[in-house]
Chains A and B, each alone.
Chain A
Amino acid sequence: QQQVKQSPQSLIVQKGGISIINCAYENTAFDYFPWYQQFPGKGPALLIAIRPDVSEKKEGRFTISFNKSAKQFSLHIMDSQPGDSATYFCAASIRGSARQLTFGSGTQLTVLP
């Protein structure tokens, strides 16, 4: 049972365009929603995270939008660059729980020059 569903599986965007990756979750107890970025041959690294008490968080060109009622959250990459080409994972967890993150299935982003 996949508790965090991520789409699309792959995404191709032109340089300068907007990349949008969507995630939906089922467990209403989740209260922490990070995004991880993974380059080939490397481990994932935290990109940006949001808690459900805010609807949006922005860090540079990266923005998380959060819709608690719909149980959905998304990552927007503005002015996408070839260096953003990587696999992106959304995740969710319950703060205070010993259990670690539940990840989405990943989105392979390719930004064309």
Chain B
Amino acid sequence: NAGVTQTPKFQVLKTGQSMTLQCAQDMNHEYMSWYRQDPGMGLRLIHYSVGAGITDQGEVPNGYNVSRSTTEDFPLRLLSAAPSQTSVYFCASSRLAGGADTQYFGPGTRLTVL
């Protein structure tokens, strides 16, 4: 199993550009999440999904959209990139809800917005 995969690994955007961060998992997990990691702030939840077709907002959802058309994929869209969105983005999946099960994280995407 590849686990959780994320692409790209690095990305540089200009302010106002849009892009999609890809995330896929091959463990047949129902629950998937996106986090952003910033120095001194830990990981903050952006959006999460409890299954195909079902998504909800996390702690810091503004400026991001998600969709979940299949169990395997959970892309994160930046609508109009801003410098405040410079961060490292992690996708995670788990078998159970509420984090009460091991969350498997991808390797991350390092995004810089100029």
Which residues from chain A sit less than 8 Å from chain B, CB to CB?
4, 6, 9, 32, 34, 36, 41-46, 89, 91, 93-106
CA distance in complex: A101, B98 (Å): 7
Total number of residue pairs linking A and B with CB closer than 8 Å: 78
Given the complex, which residues of A lie within 8 Å of B103, measured CB to CB? 36, 44, 46, 100-101
List, in ascending order, chain A residues with CB within 8 A of B90's CB.
Answer: 43-44
How close is A25's CB to chain B, nearest CB, in angstroms? Answer: 13
Q: List 8 A-B contacts (CB under 8 A).
A: A43-B4, A43-B108, A44-B105, A46-B103, A96-B98, A100-B48, A101-B99, A105-B40
Q: How far is the CA of A43 from the CA of B103 in the complex (A)?
A: 11
In the assembled complex, the CB of B79 is this many whole angstroms from the nearest CB of chain A, namely: 22
**Residues on B close to A: CB < 8 A?**
4, 31, 33, 35, 40-45, 48, 50, 56, 58-59, 90, 92, 94, 97-100, 102-103, 105-108
Residue from the list B4, B58, B108 in contact with A99, Cβ < 8 A: B58
